[in-house]
């Protein structure tokens, strides 16, 4: 009776309080779920011999960092709603608010980045940055991000304002075009602002890459080397491009001539390197694009609900930007969690397919050795809790990939 009475009392609350309560409940549910997964992985670390205790510290810092995102309270949104109301104008008001909000996010996340770089990465010999390099890099990234974010946001808000009943279609098409443009110009115009990209010199490595690409009809146009060693001694590689224009990027830390013992690296600026999984995958991207259309459609349905704004402290106005933030970040949270998990599962499936393709080409032995070497060089931990890895890892754990590469005789 007590539980049912509590539920009845909750449904008798004003709509805005029910909405905020539901968002808060789901946020803490996600946080507790993440904490549960982290503790499962920590037990793997503790029960495995020869594991440095810093791995457990990494899990603690990541979980605590996520807790900042889920600790919502009414006073926080009252502060932001008050700040928003103090800024004059409509689109200008939204842009100033967005600038301040992203600045706040960057500043609150800075201590965690510093700890990860200068404590954890430094302890294990990966960090190559100085504090000056790090801060200059962070400032440059923030400025470049604002140069892209603010104009794009202003145009999006204007399209929503003048788009009429079908504004969600125009907004979706606009974001689709912007995404394609950014992907197209990133490597040639944005990335060089941070990293130095040089063509891979002529030689045996380049020749073998080009021969391999030609043998499988991969439309390779260029092979680059990026100076990742100016920031970290982690090794990586990725490819990108559209249709018949594919490019491969190798980190200089992968090359045989590079030595992690060479510390004579002059200070420069650089953006955090992309992970290998950030290479373009058309099927995943297609699913994300359809997802953005669905989100804009639902946004069009929900934007007129004044209770949504009141739930987050906006009683006298319903700014479009705030509606976007509330609906996309909080109302869609359950859907986004499910979608993220599905995309993770899909990504792992593609990784297994890629490994199977290498095996079909007769490269299973080479890939087997390469995976072990990369894992060892990057101090990867080969054992993972099955539930933690299933939820978080876009790439299958090392042991699962090695097992899939084995022949029946090896089993």
The annotation places the binding site at 351
Cα distance between residue 306 and residue 303, in whole Å: 8
The first and second tokens of residue 295, run together, are 């989100």
User: 56 is written with which tokens?
Assistant: 């457990």
Q: How far apart are CA 18 and CA 405, in angstroms?
A: 51
Catalytic site includes residue 165: no
C-alpha to C-alpha distance for 320 and 223, rounded to whole angstroms:
44
Residue 251 and residue 226 in contact, taking contact as beta carbons nearer than 8 Å? yes
> Which DSSP letter does residue 127 get?
B
Contact 283, 353 (CB under 8 A): no
Binding-site positions for Zn(2+) read: 351
Nearest to 126 by CA among 372, 397, 382, 377: 377
Chain centroid to CA 215: how far? 33
CA distance readout (Å), 122 to 5, 57, 126, 159, 233: 55, 14, 6, 47, 11
Buried b (16+ CB within 10 A) or exposed e, 66-95: eeeebeeeeeebeebbeebeeeeeebebbb
The catalytic position among 272, 307, 337, 377 is: 272
- 314: Cα separation from own chain's centroid: 30
* Whole-number Cα distances in Å, 30 to 63, 105, 329, 331: 11, 20, 14, 14
- Catalytic status, residue 283: no
Q: Are 172 and 292 in contact (CB under 8 A)?
A: yes
Exposed, middle or buried by CB within 10 Å (0-12, 13-18, 19+), for 189?
exposed
CB contact at 8 A, 231 and 252: no
> Which is catalytic among the residues 16, 121, 355, 400?
355
Residues classed as catalytic: 272, 355
């Amino acid at each position: 009776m007590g539980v049912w009475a509590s539920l009845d009392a909750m449904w008798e609350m004003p709509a805005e309080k029910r909405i905020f309560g539901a968002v808060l409940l789901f946020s803490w549910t996600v946080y507790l779920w993440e904490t549960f997964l982290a503790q499962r992985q920590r037990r793997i670390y503790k029960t495995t011999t020869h594991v440095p205790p810093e791995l457990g510290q990494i899990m603690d810092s990541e979980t605590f960092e996520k807790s900042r995102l889920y600790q919502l309270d009414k006073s926080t949104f009252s502060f932001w709603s008050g700040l928003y109301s103090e800024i004059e104008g409509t689109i200008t008001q939204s842009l100033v608010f967005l600038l301040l909000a992203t600045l706040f996010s960057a500043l609150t996340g800075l201590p965690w980045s510093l700890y990860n770089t200068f404590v954890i990465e430094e302890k294990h010999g990966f960090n190559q940055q100085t504090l000056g390099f790090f801060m200059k890099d962070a400032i440059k990234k923030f400025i470049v991000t604002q140069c892209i974010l603010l104009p794009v946001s202003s145009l999006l808000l204007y399209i929503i304002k003048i788009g009429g009943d079908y504004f969600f279609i125009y907004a979706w098409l606009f974001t689709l075009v912007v995404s394609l443009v950014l992907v197209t110009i990133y490597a040639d115009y944005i990335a060089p602002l941070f990293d130095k990209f040089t063509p891979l010199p002529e030689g045996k490595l380049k020749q073998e890459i080009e021969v391999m690409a030609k043998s499988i009809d991969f439309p390779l146009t260029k092979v680059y080397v990026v100076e990742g060693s100016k920031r970290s001694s982690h090794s990586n590689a990725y490819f990108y491009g559209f249709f018949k224009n594919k490019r491969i990027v190798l980190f200089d830390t992968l090359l045989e001539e590079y030595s992690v013992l060479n510390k004579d690296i002059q200070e420069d600026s650089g953006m955090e390197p992309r992970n290998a999984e950030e290479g373009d995958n058309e099927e995943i991207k297609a699913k994300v694009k359809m997802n953005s259309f669905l989100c804009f459609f639902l946004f069009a349905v929900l934007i007129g609900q004044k209770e949504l704004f009141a739930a987050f402290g906006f009683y006298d106005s319903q700014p479009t930007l705030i509606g976007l933030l509330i609906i996309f970040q909080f109302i869609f949270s359950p859907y986004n969690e499910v979608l993220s998990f599905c995309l993770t599962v899909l990504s792992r499936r593609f990784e297994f397919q890629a490994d199977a393709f290498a095996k079909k080409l007769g490269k299973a032995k080479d890939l087997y050795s390469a995976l072990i070497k990369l894992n060892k060089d990057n101090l990867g931990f080969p054992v993972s809790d099955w539930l933690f890895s299933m939820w978080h890892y876009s790439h299958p754990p090392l042991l699962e990939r090695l097992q899939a590469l084995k022949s029946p005789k090896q089993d």
